[in-house]
Structure 1
C-alpha cells in the first residue's frame, strides 16, 4: 500500500504535491483541540466535585442540582462536538486514520465527508444550545425578557441553519447519485 502511495506522489507535479502536503498544516490545530478537550475534562470534574460538595454542605434544591447536572451534560456535549471535529476533520482533511474493522470505530466515521460533518456539527450545536436555553428557562427569574428573547431567537436560528445545511447536503447527495 505504501509503495502505491509513494508511486502516486512521485507522479504528482511539484506544485500540486506541495499544495497537497499543506493539509498537514492543520495537524497543530487538531492537536490544539485535543488540549481544549482536556480542559473540558478538567471542567467536568470541577463541576462534579462542586455538585458533590453541595450535598455535603447543605440540602440543595432540585433546581440547583438540575442546573449543575445540565452544566455537566453541556460539558459532555461540547466534548462530543470536539471529538467529531477532531476525528472527522482529521479523517476528512488531513489523513486517513486507518480504523477500518476496529471494534471502537465510530459508525459515522465510515461515511464521513465535509457535508456529513457539517450536518453532524450543526445538530450537535443545536443540542448544546438546547441545554443552554433549558438552563436559562429553569433560572428565568435571573434573566430579563430581552435576554430570554435573544437566546430563544439564537436557538431558533441554529435550528433553521441546521435544517438548511441538512437540506442542502441532501440536494448535493441526490445530485451526485444522478
Structure 2
C-alpha cells in the first residue's frame, strides 16, 4: 500500500479527530457568559450594599441568596469550561502549576453531569426560598409550579446519581470472583 493510499484511508479519522476543535469557540463563549454573570453579580452586590439600610431583613436575605445563586452559576460555567475542554478538546498543560484545580485530574462526564444537576437543584432551591420569603406577592399557582419544577430537578438528580451508581464498577476493594 502506498503512502498516498494509507494517507487517504486515515483522512476520515483525522478529520473526525480534528472536529473536536469546533467545541473550543463554545467554551470561549461560556467564558464571555461568565463575564456577564460577574457583571450581574457586582451590580447586585453594589445595589444591595446601597439599599440595605432601607430594606427589610427578608429583602436583604433574598438579595444575598441571589448573589449565592450567581456564584453557583459561575462555578458551573468554570467547571464546564475546564472539564469540557480537557475531556473533549485538548489537555490544559499546567499540570505542575500550583493553581491548577485538583478536581481537573479526575472529573469525567459523569461527575460533571451530577455536579451540574446538583447545582441546578441548589439554584432552584434558592429561587424557591426567595419565593417563600416574599410569599404574599405570589399566587398559589406560581408557588405550586415552582415547587413542582424544583421536585422534578431533585428527582432527576437522584435518578442520575442512582444510574451512575448502578452502572459504575463495584469498588468494594475485593477482586472479582473468577469465572468458571
| Superposition misfits of 4+ residues, deviation over 4 angstroms | 175-178
RMSD: 2.0
Between the aligned partners of 1:172 and 1:23, the Cα distance in structure 2 is 27
How many Å apart are 1:171 and its aligned residue?
A: 2.2
Contact 1:67 1:135 in 2 (8 A): yes
> Equivalent residues in 2 for 1:3-152 (5 A)?
13-55=10-52, 58-152=53-147
Deviation at 1:104, TM superposition (A): 2.4
Count of aligned pairs between the two proteins: 166
- Aligned position for 1:162: 157
**Residue in structure 2 matched with residue 153 of structure 1 by the alignment:** 148
**Gap regions ≥5 residues in structure 1:** 1-9
1: CA distance, partners of 2:94 / 2:118? 24
Higher Rg of the two aligned structures = 2
Q: What's the CA shift string for 1:23-52, capped at 9, x where partnerless?
A: 110111110000000001100111011112
Give the TM-score, by structure 1 length: 0.86
- The runs of 5 or more residues in structure 2 that have no matched partner are 1-6
* Most deviating of 35-44 and 110-119: 110-119
User: What residue in structure 2 maps to residue 171 of structure 1?
Assistant: 166
TM-score by length of 2: 0.85
